[in-house]
Every structure is written in structure tokens, then in C-alpha cells.
Amino acid sequence: MIRSSLFILIAFIVFLAGCSHEQDKNVLTNQDASESIQKDEPENNNSNNHNSPDSDLNEPHSEIQNPPDSNHNETQTSLTDEEILLKPPGRFAGSNYDEQKVQAALDQLPSNLTTDQYKDELLLLLAEDYRPYVTTFMNFDTEISVNNERPEGKITLPVNRNLHISILLDASGSMKAQINGKSKMDSAKEAIQTFADKLPNNAEVSLRVYGHKGTGDQKDKRVSCDSTEEIFHGQGDQTNQIKTALQKVEPAGWTPIANALQSVKKDINPETTDSVVYVVSDGIETCGGKPAQVAKELHQSKVKTIVNIVGFDVDNEGQKLLRQIAASGGGEFMSVNNDEALKNVLNKAYEQLRGEWTRWKEKGEGDANKQKEQKQGEINRARETMQGLANKENSHLLAALNYLKSKDNQEFPNTELLKKVNERKSFAWGYARDTGKRLYNAVSENGIRVYGDIKEEGNKNIDDLTNKTNR
């Protein structure tokens, strides 16, 4: 009986021991799981704001967490150079720098930080503000754009303009009269052909005659006053055809200047930007029209037109009336008395055209150079200022590093941290250098290209006009 009782007691003790061991095993398993979960959770950043210069220096520093494991680092997205440099500045950046306050803030740092943690904390205090300069670089427009408009009221042919030149030839009966053994009509034809041959190749040219039908008799007045006809329309490089068109024109009837000017509106291309009219006439309006009013309408129309009058052997009274037409059309009245004078007057307009091309070219070249130099100066200023900030920041970081080193912390990673501080300077300084150089070169290339385009365009037209004047 005693032996049986003893056996039961021993069995009970073994059972209790087994239960106790199983319970301890479960406790250990739960603890390991808890530690494993804590290890895998992302770190919580409870650090205080280090960017505000108004922060209390005695404010306790945030507790620094242990660095994440290597696997966690590998999953982080790398920042671009711009993203790194666009971070907010430190609490003591720029004019907020105060060495004593910086040292007081450094005293708040724990003594067991890693190299990267020290670097991050130093930048939260001392990183300079690169944002204005990085933003300037990122948004910088390296294009050079020159788009000069013509001087008001002058003839010009820059590449972005379309010029229309209208020549109106009086074919009334009075043009049969002779000067120095040659009819006014023949002299006018020769002068017009010479003038047309000298126009730029890309000018649009139209030649219209008026009063070329009927006779000077009263019975034919209506027919003659209604007669106006465009006998040539083409480009400046096609004006050799004008001679053929003029051959069939003979002096005939009355002088419908107003009707001819009114018809000019039909000859002008809607895309024309500049229009100039040359009226060659030996007399005044004889058809009852109001040429001064029509000239004014042309000058004030959407395609602004300048009306010039060439008075060919006109008396004083006629000159007075023709001057009014020219004035209303925003142009000039030029009086000539023979065929050579007529040629010279028309050539004067050509010389003006060539002079305008020269001035357009010179101004465009100057504007291209000016834009290029201004943009290059802006780039250089941003680069130099940013590099200066990098030097300043490095000086402050080195001073902080020396202070931390002097605290006799045996575990302080001075060598590694010094390397990272200097790498930070090289990174910011080099970014400014390389980005500035790239933008500077782009501006230079664009400026040279635009300058060259303007020079080529100007010289092409100037040479074309110069060659024509030697014909």
C-alpha cells in the first residue's frame, strides 16, 4: 500500500514538471516572436524640428534610433541630386549661424550615433539653402529668341514678314507726250522695269495700269475711268516677265487714280504684313474719284499700306493735289522731270530697302549677343553663389566636427565623418560647376546659332539687292 502510494506521488511530480516546462517553452516562444516583430517594424522618427532658427536651444534632442538593417537600406529609393539639394536648410543656415548655439545643440546629441546619423544631425543644423539656385538651374531657359519688328513706316523684309509692292502706272492719254525725244510712257516703262529687277526675290510684286482703255474724248470717259488692270503678279525673282507685260500698254484715256488705288486691295495677299504702293502719274485724278480718301483707307486698313506718288512732269497745281494723296497714304510725293530722274527716284526706294535690311541684320546680331551674355551672366552668378554656399557650409561643418572631436568621445567616428563632410562639399560644389557649365554651353550654342541665322538671312538679301543694283 505504501509502495503504491509512493509510485502515484512520483508520477504526479513528473506530470507537474512536464507542464511547467511546456509553459516556460511557450513563454520563450512568445518573447522571441515579439522581438522579431519589433525588429522588422520601420523606425519611428520622433525627432524635433531642426529647421526653425527660433527653436529653443535647450529643447531636448530627439532620441536617435539604431540604423536599419542593410536589407531595409537597399529598398529605399535613391534621391536625385536635385532632390538632395532641394531639402530645407538647417536651423543655423545663412545669417542664423551662431557658433555658441550650434555647440549647445551639439551637446544635446547622444554619444553613440553612427557616422550617417552624425552627418544627418549636422545637416539638420548647418545645411545651407541651395534651393533658389537649384530651382534657377532646373527652370533655366537656354533658348535665344530675336524677333525684331520693322521700324514704323519703313520698307523691310525680315524673314518673318511678307512684303507686297504695288506699282500703278498711269496710261492716260497725256503719257504720250515726249521729254527729250522719248515719250513719258516709254520712260516710265524703262524705269519701272529697272526698279522691279532690283526688288528682293521674296517680295510679292504686282503691276497695275489704269486709264489704258478708251480715249480722251468725253464719250469714252466712262470706259476709260473704269479701266484698271493688273498685268503682272509674281515674286521679285520673276520680274523679268514685266517687260513683256508692259509691251502691250499704250497711253489712251482718262486718269482714274482713285479707282486704281481701290483695286490694290484685291491684289494684296491676306497674309501680307507690309504693303507699299508706287503710283507713277503725270497728272491728277480726272474721273471724279477721291484718291486721297482711298489712300487713307489703304493706310488704315488691316494690311497697313503706304502710298507713294511719283509725279512725272507734273505742273505746280497737279503737284499740290498729288502731295495730298501721298500724305493721306502715309507716303511721300516725289517730283521728277525726265526718265533718268524717274529711275533715280524708284532706285531710292530700293536703296532704302537695302539699308533697312542692313539695320535689321545689325540689330538682330546685337540682340542675339546681348541675350546670350545676359543669360550666361545669370548662370555664372547662380553657380558662383552656390559654390560659395558650399564652401561656407563646409567651414561650419568642419567647425562642428572639431567641437565634437574635442569632447573625448572614444567612439566618435571622426575619420569617417570628415570624409562624408568633404564629400558633401564636393557634391554641392560640383553640381553647381557641372550644371552651370552645361547650361552656359547650351546658351552659347543657341546664341551662336541665332546670330548666324540672322547674319545669313541679312547678308543673303543685302547681297541680292547689291547684285541687282549693278545690273
DSSP letter string, 251-319: --S---HHHHHHHHHHHS-TT-SEEEEEEEESS---SS--HHHHHHHHHTSSS-EEEEEEEES--HHHH
Distance CA 332, CA 326 (A): 5
pLDDT, residue 72, reads 37
Amino acid at 305: T
Q: Average pLDDT for residues 49-74, to the nearest whole number?
A: 35
170 DSSP 8-state letter: E
pLDDT, residue 94, reads 95
pLDDT, residue 339, reads 67
Range from 154-168, 272-286, 396-410, 416-430 that averages highest in pLDDT:
416-430
Distance CA 272, CA 211 (A): 27
pLDDT, residue 154, reads 34
Residue 166 vs residues 26, 139, 232, 234, 236: alpha-carbon distances, Å: 106, 48, 10, 11, 12
Q: Average pLDDT for residues 396-405, to the nearest whole number?
A: 96
Q: Has residue 55 got a pLDDT over 90?
A: no
Selection from 126, 123, 56, 130 nearest residue 98 by Cα = 126
The pLDDT confidence band at residue 18, using thresholds 50, 70 and 90, is very low
Distance CA 178, CA 14 (A): 150
Range from 55-69, 76-90, 337-351, 384-398 that averages highest in pLDDT:
384-398
CA dihedral 342, 346, 351, 352 (to 10 degrees): 120
Q: Has residue 36 got a pLDDT over 50?
A: no
The pLDDT confidence band at residue 349, using thresholds 50, 70 and 90, is low
DSSP letter string, 94-161: GGG--HHHHHHHHHTS-S---HHHHHHHHHHHH----HHHHHHHHT--------PPPPTT-----TT-
For the chain, give the percent of residues with pLDDT over 70.
77
Q: Has residue 366 got a pLDDT over 90?
A: yes
Name the helix (H) or strand (E) containing 358: helix 339-405
Q: Average pLDDT for residues 255-264, to the nearest whole number?
A: 93
Q: Average pLDDT for residues 151-160, to the nearest whole number?
A: 38
Q: Has residue 288 got a pLDDT over 60?
A: yes
Mean pLDDT score of the chain, rounded to an integer? 80
What is the CA 295 to chain-centroid distance, rounded? 38
For the chain, give the percent of residues with pLDDT over 90.
47
- What is the 3-state composition of the chain as percent helix, strand, coil, each rounded to the nearest 5? 60, 10, 30
More confident residue, 374 or 314: 374
Backbone angles phi, psi at 227, to 5 degrees: -90, 115
237 DSSP 8-state letter: G
Is the distance from CB of 465 to CB of 357 less than 8 angstroms? yes
Is the distance from CB of 428 to CB of 386 less than 8 angstroms? yes
Distance CA 277, CA 298 (A): 10
Q: Average pLDDT for residues 319-336, to the nearest whole number?
A: 89
pLDDT, residue 61, reads 35
Element counts in the chain: helices (H) and strands (E):
14, 8
Backbone angles phi, psi at 69, to 5 degrees: -70, 170
pLDDT, residue 403, reads 95
pLDDT, residue 2, reads 36
Grid cell digits, residue 463:
547681297
Q: Has residue 158 got a pLDDT over 60?
A: no
Rg value, the chain, Cα: 45
Angle between helices 131-138 and 339-405 (to 10 degrees): 140
Please, what is the Cα angle at 214 between 212 and 220, to 5 degrees? 135
Half-sphere exposure of 285 (CA within 13 A, CB side): 23
Q: Has residue 6 got a pLDDT over 60?
A: no
Asked which of 35-39, 73-77, 192-196, 310-314 is least confident by mean pLDDT, the reply is: 35-39
pLDDT, residue 469, reads 60
Q: Has residue 419 got a pLDDT over 80?
A: yes
Backbone angles phi, psi at 279, to 5 degrees: -100, 120
- State whether the Cα torsion 244-248-252-257 is positive or negative: negative
Distance CA 186, CA 193 (A): 11
Distance CA 209, CA 246 (A): 9
Q: Has residue 381 got a pLDDT over 60?
A: yes
Q: Has residue 359 got a pLDDT over 60?
A: yes
pLDDT, residue 37, reads 28
The pLDDT confidence band at residue 201, using thresholds 50, 70 and 90, is confident
What does the pLDDT look like over 219-245, one tens digit per residue? 999 999 999 999 999 887 788 888 888
pLDDT, residue 370, reads 96
Q: Average pLDDT for residues 171-193, to the nearest whole number?
A: 87
Q: Has residue 10 got a pLDDT over 60?
A: no
Please provide the size of the chain in residues. Answer: 471
Angle between helices 414-469 and 115-126 (to 10 degrees): 60
More confident residue, 461 or 384: 384
More confident residue, 97 or 76: 97
pLDDT, residue 342, reads 66
Q: Has residue 345 got a pLDDT over 70?
A: no
Selection from 313, 312, 307, 309 nearest residue 329 by Cα = 307
The pTM of the whole model exceeds 0.75? no
Q: Has residue 392 got a pLDDT over 80?
A: yes
Q: Has residue 139 got a pLDDT over 80?
A: yes
pLDDT, residue 259, reads 94
pLDDT, residue 190, reads 86
Q: Average pLDDT for residues 301-312, to the nearest whole number?
A: 86
Task: Return the SS3 of 335.
Answer: strand
Task: Return the SS3 of 409.
Answer: coil
Q: Average pLDDT for residues 431-445, to the nearest whole number?
A: 97
Task: Return the SS3 of 382.
Answer: helix
